[in-house]
Amino acid sequence: MIAEFLSYLFHALCCPKYLREMGILQELIGVEARSGRLKHAWQEHLDFTKSVILDQASNSPRNKVMIIGAGLINDIPLKELSERFKQVVLVDLIFMQSTINQIKYFDNVSFLEIDISGNLKALYQAIQEFKISGSLQELNARINSLINFVPDFFMTDNELDLVISLNLLSQLPLCAEQWLIKQKIDFDFSCFYKSLIKNHLEYLKRLEANNKKIILISDTQKQILNSDNQLLAVESSIKDLNIPDYLSNAKSVKSWNWLLAPIGELDPKYQMRLNVDAFAI
């Protein structure tokens, strides 16, 4: 806990205010701690992810690859990608210093700290304005404008050959949802949460239409099991959306289970497992 607290103090110096206040920096630090603590439980998932990326990347032109949701890069075969592609670009909201230190070993690897949804800062500002005005009508108008927003990052980058959306899709609404619950605003944000997922799929579809090869890896289902591995509950982790409905050209290339939280991590009696699907377009 002390290490996490010190990490927060260090990274907060350069982290945008809205990411701090929405709990996104704190969540990333927590994920870094869990990735170390649960290294054994997560290893199979990490290996499957890297294998899919390398297999699908072998069919791509070799100029530039971009990984969206690069995070802690422990699920990225960075060395192999840097050897195959002229440029490797890692994209996420914020990168930990430990990750930046690893990236420095590769001359052709760079990172960009951007919100690929293009919506989180606007959401934060809308809520701050609502706290002042108290107008639900104005808030509704702002949220509706965000629901229909699809970003256009990198659409015209002619050097970009391959885009990988990496274990990101289900995560897009989570921090916003957790933060908005704490704001205790009498407003139904469910359409906004779902739009973050839908618009990301639309974004990938538009990239594909601009001649980019796409790899999408995401958990699609959460499963709760007891200590005897009996399945107790199942829930969609992407708001009941079906990926092929939005990416008609997507081909399923692999599926596997990820033991996200073994017994004792979240609960002494129950464990959480994710079903992960990989698609290529």
Share of the chain above pLDDT 90, in %: 90
The model's pTM is: 0.94
Which tokens belong to 265? 């991590």
| Helix (H) and strand (E) counts in the chain | 11, 8
Name, in order, each residue with C-beta under 8 angstroms of 119's C-beta and a sequence gap of 6 or more.
146, 149, 196, 199
- How much is the average pLDDT of 176-184? 95
pLDDT digits (tens, 9 = 90+) for 248-269: 999 999 999 999 999 999 999 9
- How much is the average pLDDT of 118-124? 96
Which tokens belong to 183? 């704001």
Nearest to 80 by CA among 104, 109, 38: 109
Structural domain of 225:
2-280
76: three-class secondary structure by DSSP: coil
CATH number at 179 reads 3.40.50
Q: 87-92 and 251-261 as β-strands: parallel, antiparallel, unpaired?
A: unpaired
Residue 9 has pLDDT above 70, yes or no: no
Contact indicator for 103, 109 with CB cutoff of 8 Å: yes
- Residue 237 has phi, psi (to 5 degrees) of -100, 5
Domains: count for the chain = 1
Assign 184 a pLDDT band (cuts: 50, 70, 90).
Answer: very high
Assign 233 a pLDDT band (cuts: 50, 70, 90).
Answer: very high
